[in-house]
Structure 1
Amino acid sequence: MNFIRNPVNWAFAMLSMLMVPYGWSQKNSTESGYKELFNGKDLSGWYTYQRQPEPTSKVVGLKMEDGKYVEPIGLNKDPLGVFTVVELDGGKVIRISGEVFGILVTEEEFEDYHLTLEFKYGEKRYPPRENAKRDSGILYHSFGKEAARGGVWMSSVECQIQEGDTGDLWCVQATTAKVNVETDGDGKFKYNPSGPLQEFDWRGSRYCQRSFDYEKPYGEWNTLDIYAFGDESIHVVNGIKNMHLKDIRYYEADKSTPLTKGKIQLQSEGAEIFYRNIRIGPISKMPNL
């Protein structure tokens, strides 16, 4: 099931906008055309890719030179249990340990959709980010091969999930987007719907800060929604919009093309994090948020 320009799915879209509040039941999500990306049992419908581990991790049989790993763990191999399903807070959730930089990727690609999920930071942190903010991210409109950026990520647009920074934009390898911005005292760009449009791309200024931090205190579950329609997307944290991308594009052989679809990646990036209630459904227009 995907949502690539399917007129039948559009019929469900208005229902989804009217009927789907935060925390809806699985029954309601199914009836309104939404699909559970996490079945509550295992990682069916997803695949994994992991780059080379840090020297502090022990992976038998993986090539090392001068005390460092020099080859990736690769596709659908998980010797350290980076991506698992565990019991937490009364139900099954996806646990991403963070020990190795890696991605959990949908087998399907999607277009014109509302993606919603809940996340909660864990306790563990690993090199090279053992002293940094807990970090993960949703990389959407993902395309091409794994390891296009940083030896692990696919080309995509990222909705950052990081302590205090959830909703930030990162353009990940061969992608660009425009955002209405203001600049803070340090000259950094920050989303402001009343500001001028600024282009961000993977070759230079590829990062834009969300408008405000709407995360809940550490230890609580947060809700994240991503609305993607045409060449635009919106990031919503705990019910409040804090980022709006326009004119999302990708480059291939120096030619830019609107980027409107792709797979979804969940990042493992040095910190333990949990995900649950991951659902996606079609929309026929961008909501007025």
Structure 2
Amino acid sequence: MKKGITGCLLLACFFVQAQKQTKNLKPLFNGKNLNGWYSFLTSKGKNSDPEKVFNIENGLLHISGKEFGYICTEKVYNNFHLVVEFKWGTKKYPPRDADTTRRDNGILYFVPQNATDFVWPKSIECQIQEGDVGDFWMVDSTTIVVDGVRTIPKDFNRAQKKADGEKPTGEWNRVEVIANNGNLTHIVNGITVNKATGASLSKGKIIIQSEGAEIYYRKIEIAVLK
């Protein structure tokens, strides 16, 4: 009985904390422009986007996917609760233009402040790809601990999600990334799909990718955790 009561109290505390995080969310994307962000494209460099790979349309962030690159926050974050809402568009571009190739995008976080802009900088990724939303990708020898085992440092290493929370392509999906003192949680449409501890990175910038597939974001919000 005592264990059961303790478990209930811990669960209650978790929900209270989650509610506080949600109440403290503030827009990272204002629906009007990309203030607070800069763009990078592989062929154009920083803040040069003549073809509007990243564009604001009717209050939405439209990412064409036509060229690989990203938008990146100017600010650095360590402990945070990030919330985004996205849906896939219809267009795809090489190397993802084949009918059988899944649409791909992603959120990179803990990008070091002094990192050189290129595709892709050192970071941890919350994968946004059809069928794989919520996977961890560790970029440039970054490591995490999953199920008590530290991942092997590699150029790219993956830790697959443990559950599926995705909605069908074309519908809006809500993705949350919670980073708190090295503990990482990925939540998709209210379902916790992946968790890790002991992240080898602890702070950095946040990136939204352009990776060969059209995608829309209607919400990008963040709460800074103490």
- Superposition TM-score, scaled by structure 1 size: 0.68
The question of whether the paired residues in 2 share the 8 Å contact of 1:16 and 1:281 is answered with no
Residues 1:100 and 2:67 are matched in the alignment: yes
Q: Structure 1 residues 161 and 126, CA, compared in 2 at 3 Å: closer, same or farther?
A: same
> What is aligned with 1:215?
166
Q: 1:136 aligns with which of 105, 114, 121?
A: 105
Give the number of the structure with larger relative contact order, counting CA–CA contacts within 8 Å between residues 6 or more apart: 2
> What is aligned with 1:55?
none
SS of structure 2 residue aligned to 1:176: coil
Residues 1:84 and 2:50 are matched in the alignment: no
**Is there any run of 5+ residues in structure 1 with no aligned partner, and where?**
1-13, 22-31, 52-71, 181-196, 250-258, 285-289
> What is aligned with 1:39?
30
**Is there any run of 5+ residues in structure 2 with no aligned partner, and where?**
1-14
Whole-angstrom CA distance in 2 between matches of 1:107 and 1:15:
30
CA deviations on 1:151-175 (whole Å, 9 max, x unpaired) are 4122110000000100001101131
Residues 1:154 and 2:121 are matched in the alignment: yes
Q: Which has the larger radius of gyration?
A: 1
Q: 1:247 aligns with which of 191, 198, 206?
A: 198
> What is aligned with 1:267?
209
Q: Structure 1 residues 215 and 43, CA, compared in 2 at 3 Å: closer, same or farther?
A: same
CA deviations on 1:93-125 (whole Å, 9 max, x unpaired) are 101111111011011011211101101011000
What RMSD over aligned residues (CA atoms) do the two structures have, in Å? 2.0
The question of whether the paired residues in 1 share the 8 Å contact of 2:137 and 2:156 is answered with no
CA deviations on 1:23-45 (whole Å, 9 max, x unpaired) are xxxxxxxxx43321001101111
The question of whether the paired residues in 1 share the 8 Å contact of 2:55 and 2:62 is answered with yes
The question of whether the paired residues in 2 share the 8 Å contact of 1:146 and 1:152 is answered with no
Whole-angstrom CA distance in 2 between matches of 1:98 and 1:205:
21
Whole-angstrom CA distance in 2 between matches of 1:202 and 1:276:
34
CA deviations on 1:155-213 (whole Å, 9 max, x unpaired) are 11000000010000110113111111xxxxxxxxxxxxxxxx23224426711110122
Structure 1 runs of 4+ aligned residues shifted over 4 Å read none
Whole-angstrom CA distance in 2 between matches of 1:123 and 1:17:
34
Residues 203-212 or 270-279, more deviating: 203-212
Q: Percent identity?
A: 43
Residues 1:145 and 2:99 are matched in the alignment: no
Instruction: Report the AA paired with residue 208 of structure 2.
Output: L
Q: Structure 1 residues 146 and 269, CA, compared in 2 at 3 Å: closer, same or farther?
A: farther
SS of structure 1 residue aligned to 2:197: strand
The question of whether the paired residues in 2 share the 8 Å contact of 1:16 and 1:33 is answered with no
SS of structure 2 residue aligned to 1:140: strand
CA deviations on 1:56-111 (whole Å, 9 max, x unpaired) are xxxxxxxxxxxxxxxx3111111221101112xxxx11011111110110110112
> What is aligned with 1:17?
18
Residues 1:120 and 2:87 are matched in the alignment: yes
The question of whether the paired residues in 1 share the 8 Å contact of 2:21 and 2:223 is answered with no
Instruction: Report the AA paired with residue 47 of structure 2.
Output: N
- Superposition TM-score, scaled by structure 2 size: 0.86
Q: Structure 1 residues 137 and 240, CA, compared in 2 at 3 Å: closer, same or farther?
A: same
Whole-angstrom CA distance in 2 between matches of 1:82 and 1:275:
13
Whole-angstrom CA distance in 2 between matches of 1:201 and 1:121:
32
> What is aligned with 1:254?
none
